[in-house]
């Protein structure tokens, strides 16, 4: 992997990640852009103990542009985009309309391929490995920023999810705090460790799932399963079999196998609802240990946390979405229409051929 860092016309950082070491990236951003102005503010909810990012400048972000005006495609001639060069393998840049900025963190966009009509599932294993390497490098870079406590790499796919740009891409959020969902995991981790005299909860969950009926696919170094208490109709958790706290700690064997396992999983997601159905909308979310101190979680450290990816779709059946209504949105109590055992069975049925 070759990494080339540059700056866009408004001062934002852009980084090319290339498969070939002899690739030259010297194209300049020719757009007449003014410096980016953001108004991100993180507010603490004293009743719930969580945080809300207030970012009014995002009201003006790009919204469903036609394909020939996509800002994530390479620049060509007089058609100038966020990527100055006429081609790329993987590129990462600071979001022009970030939810978090300055002392409130940082937001980046990750473009998986220059092909506007592709999807992550359509990448080659070599391309998918490059994305993994880019995620890892960005995690390293962002975690070194003074304001950052946790790094979150994720992909939103599909208009039903709320995606406003159809080009295959993901995002990275660098939070100035430990996120509420991670805090819940850490509290459960600490309580289980205390109650069992030192057993790791993530290890116990993985061992239980591998011995059960909800395994979707399994490699030598990775395992994917539908969790016992899945929140979403089709939800899969992907774990490295050797527990590590973050992407940085994955060994070469796990990195080499990841593209094969993950691409197979994504392709199965696109087959859930049968032939002729539109691509399955999903969210793919990496969960990494916080890089800050774990104050408030007595008895646990970063190495107790288990890196894993959670993949789920909001589609519950053909042509129907799972809406978060009263119980889910009002009280955070999910009601799942598809038994996790049946979801796992379906995902095994649609294995790639």
Question: Catalytic residue positions?
Answer: 169
First to last CA, the chain: 30
CA distance 26 to 154: 28
CA distance 50 to 320: 31
| Other beta carbons within 10 Å of 79 | 11
CA distance 137 to 174: 13
Under a CB-based contact definition with an 8 Å cutoff, are residues 169 and 114 in contact?
no
Maximum CA extent, the chain: 65
Name 294's Cβ contacts closer than 8 Å, sequence gap at least 6.
178, 186, 300, 301, 302
Under a CB-based contact definition with an 8 Å cutoff, are residues 110 and 169 in contact?
yes
Q: Kindly state the DSSP code that residue 33 receives in the 8-state scheme.
A: P
| Other beta carbons within 10 Å of 257 | 18
Tokens of 104: 């409130």
Q: Is the dihedral of CA 226, 228, 234, 239 positive or negative?
A: negative
Strands (E), the chain: 2-7, 13-18, 41-44, 51-54, 90-94, 106-111, 150-157, 169-175, 215-218, 222-225, 234-240, 282-287, 308-313, 315-317, 320-321
């Amino acid at each position: 992997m070759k990494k080339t860092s540059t700056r866009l016309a408004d001062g934002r950082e852009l980084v090319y990640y290339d498969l070939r070491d002899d690739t030259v990236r010297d194209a300049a951003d020719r757009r007449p852009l003014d410096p980016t102005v953001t108004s991100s503010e993180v507010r603490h909810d004293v009743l719930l103990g969580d945080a809300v990012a207030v970012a009014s400048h995002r009201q003006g972000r790009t919204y469903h542009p036609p394909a020939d005006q996509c800002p994530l495609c390479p620049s060509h001639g007089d058609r100038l985009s966020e990527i100055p060069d006429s081609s790329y393998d993987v590129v990462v840049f600071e979001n022009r309309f970030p939810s978090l900025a300055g002392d409130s963190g940082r937001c980046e966009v990750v473009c998986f391929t220059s092909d506007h009509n592709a999807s992550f599932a359509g990448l080659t294993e070599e391309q998918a490995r490059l994305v993994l390497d880019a995620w890892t490098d960005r995690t390293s870079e962002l975690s070194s920023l003074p304001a950052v406590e946790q790094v979150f790499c994720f992909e939103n796919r599909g208009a039903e999810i709320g995606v406003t740009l159809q080009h295959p891409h993901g995002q990275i959020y660098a939070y100035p705090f430990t996120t509420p969902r991670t805090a819940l995991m850490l509290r459960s981790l600490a309580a289980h460790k205390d109650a069992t005299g030192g057993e790791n909860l993530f290890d116990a969950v993985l061992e239980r799932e591998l011995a059960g009926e909800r395994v979707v696919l399994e490699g030598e170094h990775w395992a994917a399963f539908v969790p016992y208490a899945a929140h979403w109709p089709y939800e899969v958790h992907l774990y490295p079999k050797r527990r590590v706290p973050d992407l940085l700690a994955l060994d070469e064997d796990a990195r080499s196998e990841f593209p094969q396992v993950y691409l197979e999983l994504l392709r199965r997601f696109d087959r859930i609802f049968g032939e002729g159905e539109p691509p399955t909308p999903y969210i793919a979310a990496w969960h990494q240990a916080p890089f800050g101190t774990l104050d408030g979680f007595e008895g646990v450290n970063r190495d107790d946390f288990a890196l894993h990816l959670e993949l789920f779709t909001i589609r519950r059946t053909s042509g129907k979405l799972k809406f978060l209504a009263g119980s889910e949105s009002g009280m955070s109590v999910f009601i799942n229409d598809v038994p996790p055992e049946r979801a796992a069975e379906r995902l095994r049925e649609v294995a790639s051929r």
